[in-house]
Structure 1
Amino acid sequence: MSSQDILKNATTLASYNVLIQVMFRVLTFLLNAFTLRFVSKELIGVVNVRLTLLYSTLVFLSREAFRRACLSGESGPNHSWRQVINLLWLTVPLGVIWAVLLGCVWLWFLEAPDPQTIPYYSPAVVLFALSGVQELLAEPLWVLAQAHMFVRLKVVAESLAMIAKCSVTVVLVVFTRQWGLYIFSAAHLVYTGFIVLCYSVYFIHFLGSDEAAKKNFPLHRVADLLPQRTEGKPLIDWSLARLTWSFFKQSFLKQILTEGERYVMTFLNVLSFGDQGVYDIVNNLGSMVARFIFLPIEESFYIFFAKVLKRGHDIKSQKQEEVAIAAEVLECLLKLVLVIGLIITVFGYAYSHLALDIYGGSLLSSGTGPSLLRCYSCYVLLLAVNGITECFVFAAMSQEEVDKYNLVMLALSVSFLLLSYMLTWWAGGVGFILANCLNMGLRILHSLRYIHHYFQFSQWKPLRGLLPSPLLLLVLAVSAGITAASEAVLCCDGGWLLRLVHIAVGGVCLLLVFGAVLLTETQLIQFVRTQLLPRYRKKHT
């Protein structure tokens, strides 16, 4: 497959992933707004912070390293898919081990919520751990689908799973509110069960079909999806296993950085369950764009960079055409996420209070919620840049460089936990966001240094993507001043008419920003139109 074909597939995957994440965030957004009217913020804090942390930790530590290794260039034509699948099935017993270990910690070492206000905590821990193990049953199928760009499968599976989860939650919250944590445990089991079911049904029908033969799919029978030994070959590819181990050490540290504030809240009790609930709701609101735009782009283009670039090789030892495409794509992606991040930062400051007031009423807008969301809008800019830079770095690093980077991640993890603890005592929930900003900035600096060194003696300078046009910066600065003044004068105690005027002011400023982007960022606009918009690309290919 040529680099152009890989780019086309990666951008298609990114587009569909964005659509999935948009739907997920919108449904979660509406679901949280609904449940806020029926359950306490303490219950939301336990579910969205403590139990979700158990699930995400279990799943991440069990599969992240396998995904990165098996989707990288190292699992290309020199590797047998039979051995790759055998390796991927190790995620299930590993998940069981993590479920037992983490379940014991969550049950016996953490402070249990008051059973009168938050009932059924112990069964909920078991059920959330079980849902994580259940999802791992689909891991070999997920990697197969990603490697062969079955983008519609992911869209359908995750869409149906999320719709089922939301439906179960709404019905149980309305009719069986007394079930407490059982409601959210059952909904999560339904979600992971639907994912496994959809992937299984698809591959049962796909294997052995004419479509599979036409695509030269490496597997032919349903039995090929199960672990088997191949005569004359080891059960697994040990070079790929070593790469997985390197990524595993890194993923453990990355999980601490990704979910660090939840670990501090869970293990150090710096915030009450109610404050944790408010923080999590604001965190979900602030991270909506990061999750449904930046994360899908990062996941999809990691596959692109990993397939186009030879891991651990310098530029001179690679095909210059493919390096040129990778450099151009990296520059455009950096410009894209930077522009989106700047827009979120500018408008997030002036509209945080109004957004929280509309979403959750005085429960969210009267306390520290607006300050949290304003800080988070600045953090989103760092998230955007870091996602793309690390996406490239992890695809280009050799195994030895990955091992060295693990030491950097260790230092960042320790510093982040210390900063989170100290800043939270000083500034409450805002301290978590400040600690995240500091650590994210250090990660970005490390990645920028690697990318600069990688392209240092070449004609390509992809880091120019971090330099927006002066006109765009000027329009953003003016918009920041106008919207901040509008909030001070019009929002948010003067009734809905003044609020609508405040929203209209922001709309006009946003249109001016879009106009500046269209006038000055022509290369970015062309990249978005031809690569990230499926309908347009189909007409011009």
Structure 2
Amino acid sequence: MGSREVLGQAARLASSGLLLQVLFRLITFVLNAFILRFLSKEIVGVVNVRLTLLYSTTIFLAREAFRRACLSRGTQQDWSQTLNLLWLTIPLGVFWSLFLGWIWLHLLEVPDPNVVPHYGTGVVLFGLSAVVELLGEPFWVLAQAHMFIKLKVIAESLSVILRSILTALLVIWLPHWGLHIFSVAQIFYTTVLVLCYVIYFTNLLSSPESTKQQTLPVSRITDLLPNITRSRAFVNWQEAKLTWSFFKQSFLKQILTEGERYVMTFLNVLNFGDQGVYDIVNNLGSLVARLIFQPIEESFYIFFAKVVEREKDAILQKQEDVAVAATVLEFLLKLALLTGLTITVFGFAYSQLALDIYGGAMLSSGTGPILLRCYCVYVLLLAINGVTECFTFAAMSKEEVDRYNFTMLALSSSFLVLSYLLTRWCGSVGFILANCFNMSIRITQSLRFIHRYYQKSPHRPLAGLRVSPVLLGVFSLSAVITSISEVFLCCEQGWPARLTHIVVGAFCLGVTLGTAFLTETKLIHFLRTQLGVSRVTDKMT
């Protein structure tokens, strides 16, 4: 498969992933606003911080390394061995679920059962849901490797929608269930998700006229099960070693990704109610970042992993592939930078209004607006880091991955210490400040790798981080105008003044986007041809 064909598939996967994330976040956005009217912020805090952390940690530690290793480009990939390796995620998930569940039940502070009932059941069922989801891991990796875009969209959309409906119904009918509501909904979600993949592949492989069946490395559904033969090793040891390298890295990355939740959970720097408020603001602040950057990062990691060969310098690889990868990286960096700047500039002046509309005085008063403003700056760093690490992890050799693990270890340690100290000093804002510091260090490390990687080639993808002076001037002017508008029109002046503030922001946003359209013509062409609905062209400007 040519590099441009892979690019086209990755772009379609990113586009569909973007639509999928829009659906997810809008549903979650509405659901959280709905739940706040029926349940206490303490229950929201325990679910969104404590139990979700248990689930995400188990899932991340059990499968992240396997996904990255098994989706990396190899000269010869024996899918039988790859699938055997993927099935090892299940016993690993069982181990992490039991180990972390014991910690959650016996070593951490247990919520007051009168305020947050059924905590023990919640821990057990959230841990079990992680193991259930891992049952579909071989199916997921096979689908991703062969770019089954519609399958991912349908499976995840259906499971999220059904979980949201079930949660809403239980909140209305049985609010006294407490954590049982979210535990049952979580088990239901993972079960539906896995069943979608199993049913899809069962129907696909049992249909002889299917054209996709001919491109798959398996011909029967039983081929996806573990296969032990004496003629070859159970797993590909090169993939297994790469998985171990990624596993060490994943453990550290998880600390950085969910660091504030670990500090809140293990060090008790915030009570459950404050944790609930922080998590709501955090989810609102990261809404656009997850809508746009996460699907792009996931999809283009697959693209870079298929186009760029590990263990080889850029000048020793197929130059057409290297050129396409450099061009794509440059435009992704430019897209991430401009999107992050837009969020930072306009989010700063509209944070308080957004929180007031979403959750009322409970969110818009106190530290809520300051939290969201700081998060808008953090989103800019998130955007750049997502793209740079996307390429870096796809291009690093095993030895470079191992060396990078030491850097991640230092970052993890410094983050935990810094977040604890800053939180003691300035409250929950300290979490975001610590995240900004560590994200800056990670970006610096990735930029150094990219610079060295392309140093001997004629390509300079880091040029994507340059913005025209005219566009920077428009961003600065918009920041000043919207800040002045917020002072005089928001948020205690009533809805007529608020609407005027919104109109001012919409006008400034329109001017900014128009300027970007006129000054960043190459980026616009890339978005139209690669991330849009049109097919991939043969020539990229």
TM normalised by structure 2 equals 0.98
SS in 2 for 1:73: coil
- The Cα shift of 1:462 comes to 0.5
Deviation at 1:537, TM superposition (A): 3.2
Within 1, Cα distance between the matches of 2:312 and 2:538? 34
1:230 Cα deviation from its structure 2 partner: 3.6
Q: Report the equivalent of 2:431.
A: 432
The CA deviation string for residues 154-183 of structure 1, in whole angstroms up to 9 with x for no partner, is 000000000011001100000100000000
Rounded Cα–Cα distance in structure 2 between residues aligned with 1:537 and 1:510 = 29
Partner of residue 31, structure 1: 31
1:140 is aligned to 138
Q: Which residue of 2 aligns with 1:179?
A: 177
CA contact (8 A) 1:206 1:212 kept: no
Aligned counterparts, 1:264-413, within 5 A? 264-413=263-412
Distance 2:77 2:303 in 1: 18
Query: 1-side partners of 2:80 and 2:301: how far apart?
Result: 23
For the structure 1 residues 279 and 223, does the alpha-carbon distance in structure 2 shift closer, same or farther, using more than 3 Å as the test? same
Query: Tell me, what secondary structure is at the counterpart of 1:422?
Result: helix
Q: Which residue of 2 aligns with 1:229?
A: 228
Tell me by how many angstroms 1:208 deviates.
3.9
Q: Which amino acid aligns with 2:403?
A: K
Deviation at 1:456, TM superposition (A): 1.1
AA aligned opposite 1:119: P
Aligned-pair CA distance for 1:408: 0.3
Q: Which residue of 2 aligns with 1:530?
A: 529
Is 1:244 the counterpart of 2:243? The answer is yes
Whichever residue aligns with residue 8 of structure 2, its letter is K
Work out which of the residue numbers 194, 197, 221 in structure 1 matches 2:195: 197
Q: Is the 8 A contact 2:126 2:183 kept in 1?
A: yes
Residue equivalent to 2:106 = 108
Alignment-mate amino acid for residue 378 of structure 2: Y
Partner Cα distance (1:141, 1:390) in 2? 26
Question: How many residue pairs get matched?
Answer: 538
Residue 159 of structure 1: aligned partner? 157
Does the aligned pair in 2 maintain the 1:310–1:318 contact within 8 Å?
A: yes
* Native 8 Å contact 2:94 2:131 kept in 1: yes
The aligned counterpart of 1:452 is 451
Q: Which moved more, 1:211-220 or 1:187-196?
A: 211-220
Structure 2 counterpart SS, 1:459: coil
Q: Distance in 2 between matches of 1:341 and 1:53?
A: 26
Residue in 2 aligned with 1:129? 127
SS of corresponding position for 2:4: helix
Q: Secondary structure of the residue that 1:211 maps to in structure 2?
A: coil
> 1: distance between equivalents of 2:472 and 2:525?
20
> 2:57 & 2:421 partners in 1: Cα distance?
24
**Equivalent AA in structure 2 for residue 17 of structure 1:** G
Paired residue type of 1:236: V
Amino acid at match of 1:30: V
Instruction: Give a deviation string over 1:422-459, Cα, whole Å, max 9, x none.
Output: 00001111000000000000000000011111111221
What SS does structure 2 have at the residue aligned with 1:118?
A: coil
Q: Partners of 1:38 and 1:537 in 2: how far apart?
A: 47
**Which residue identity is paired with 2:265?**
T
Structure 1 pair 485/215, CA: closer, same or farther in 2 (3 Å)? farther
Cα separation, 2, equivalents of 1:394 and 1:68: 9
The aligned residue for residue 217 of structure 2 is 218
Give distance in 1, aligned partners of 2:535 and 2:319: 25
| Contact 2:5/2:536, CA 8 A, preserved across alignment | no
TM-aligned CA distance change 1:84 to 1:324, over 3 Å? same
Q: Matches of 1:248 and 1:113 in 2, distance apart?
A: 32
* Distance in 1 separating the partners of 2:395 and 2:274: 41
- In 2, the alpha carbon distance for the partners of 1:220 and 1:509 equals 56
User: CA–CA distance in 1 between the matches of 2:535 and 2:37?
Assistant: 44
Residue 226 of structure 1, CA deviation: 0.5
**Retained in 2: the 8 A contact 1:82–1:230?**
no
Answer yes or no: is the 8 Å Cα contact 1:393–1:450 preserved in 2.
yes
Separation in 1, partners of 2:130, 2:428: 28
- Aligned residue type for 2:141: V
1:255-312, Cα deviation, whole Å (9 max, x unpaired)? 0000000000000000010110000000000001111110110010001111101112
Tell me, in whole angstroms, the C-alpha distance in 1 between the residues paired with 2:262 and 2:119: 18
Q: Which runs of no fewer than 5 residues in structure 2 stay unpaired? A: none
3-state SS of 1:27 partner: helix
Distance of 1:316 and 1:506 partners within structure 2 = 47
Q: Quote how far apart the aligned CAs of 1:520 are.
A: 0.4
* Cα distance in 2 for residues equivalent to 1:447 and 1:287: 22
Give, in whole Å, the separation in 2 of the partners of 1:344 and 1:213: 41
Separation (CA, whole Å) in 2 of partners of 1:229 and 1:294: 40
**Code of the aligned partner of 1:56:** S
Q: Residue 504 of structure 1 aligns with which residue?
A: 503
Paired letter, 2:81? Q
2:205–2:213: 8 Å Cα contact kept in structure 1? no
Question: What is the one-letter code of the residue matched to 2:397?
Answer: S
Aligned: 1:47 with 2:47: yes
The 8 Å contact of residues 529 and 537 in structure 2, kept in 1 or not, is answered as no
Cα distance in 1 between the residues matched to 2:269 and 2:297: 32
Give the fraction of aligned pairs with identical amino acids, expressed as a percent: 63
CA contact (8 A) 1:290 1:384 kept: yes
Name the residue aligned to 1:93: 91
Which residue identity lines up with residue 254 of structure 2 in the other structure? Q
Residue 88 to residue 319, structure 1, CA distance change in 2 (3 Å)? same
The aligned amino acid for 1:33 is A
Equivalent in the alignment of 1:21: 21
- Name the TM-score, length of structure 1 as normaliser: 0.98
Q: Secondary structure at the match of 2:210?
A: helix
Q: Secondary structure at the match of 1:537?
A: coil
Q: Is the 8 A contact 1:356 1:370 kept in 2?
A: yes
